[in-house]
A and B are shown apart, each in its own frame.
Chain A
């Protein structure tokens, strides 16, 4: 082999290697920029939930259109607050900023404008987070509840699938009200699902039973089945009042219709 030929072969081999590296790096980058749906599985063997009904829906079965009809009938103000929608709002805001800057004769004053043309993996995530803000507990209509105002949330893997997650999160300024709300929600779910497993960061000793949670403390009642997990919790928000939440969901990576299969 002549020197020229050897050099050509080496050059060619180098080009192939460089192209391969570039290709794989490009693929890795492309993969990172795209939404990858989780691989869903059937529930493992074990006790199934006796009921997945909560907050007016049947988790694993109720569809988005039914939830929209339900919340509409109750006069609730709800919207999809998915990350995909939020990205759209971000772009709208950026367009408005650019328009304002151009009107002011400063077209280069807006930073981050590339988001207008750049699609991200967030834009490809089909999840729907149907969120109703400022919902009074009395408006829920599924059962009598202590007074409270909070966020009602229904999460769907996509617009066509059944609801995966339903929750109602509300805040109280007063510990007594928060505890009563927590106990009420726990009692309601216990009637449906049986006794929960309960954990708490309540002081172990020296504190009156039912006394306020310590700062950032939490008390959680949990029901775990092979197809759903339900929780009721109360948490001390560290000087910002107390949060009470009740939720029932099909945990990932289970398929969202696991409770009805």
Chain B
């Protein structure tokens, strides 16, 4: 067989391909993925899709149940619920993705450095993480929100600051266990420099749990934001977020239950989708059940 025959040589099935195949077979996870893509798409395109503005009031109309004009009904100010839920989605998803991205960035960097450096540096870094872990963050976030007002940027940072700890721990754990794998030693004995080792050997093999955990962090973040908004400490009216919508829905839930049910349903379904997807990814990427 010569070089010319390279294109007819059967290509192997990489672990990523194997994982994707297994993920595809997981119906719940795929349903979650589709749902998420749909919702994200809708929320992104909202300004061009909706018939009403999210602030547009129609006081004569008041609150009406779902109808042809207003698919999900209106609230006491006559604002179209569908529109507000979609705008709320923009906010909630934005917080979810951005705060998670913040946590990801800080956590991965921190954890990778600690894991690769090892020894005393690792010890010191992890000691700090342990201390921070013990702080009751929930209380501090509430405090921060109260003290500094409802600054959206602060919200993102605060939530991200809570989640990076676990991410750092996971990444560090992965890197530590990878460093003991013999193929990393082999890379060293070949004479590869640290950059090449980290880039070509460590990171591709550490990505799995990072991806899984990221997917599972997003719903946690969204819950946190919804919670804060519900308590009145997060996003403020007239802007919308799902937490806020639920909170106002609770106030009038006896007379107008749809104001509570629809935002609640959307939030719950999105969280379902994210969790199922995260679980599916975890199963698909699990090396123990991988093709062996």
B is a partner of A = no
Contacts from A to B (Cβ < 8 Å): none
Residues of B within 8 A of A (CB): none
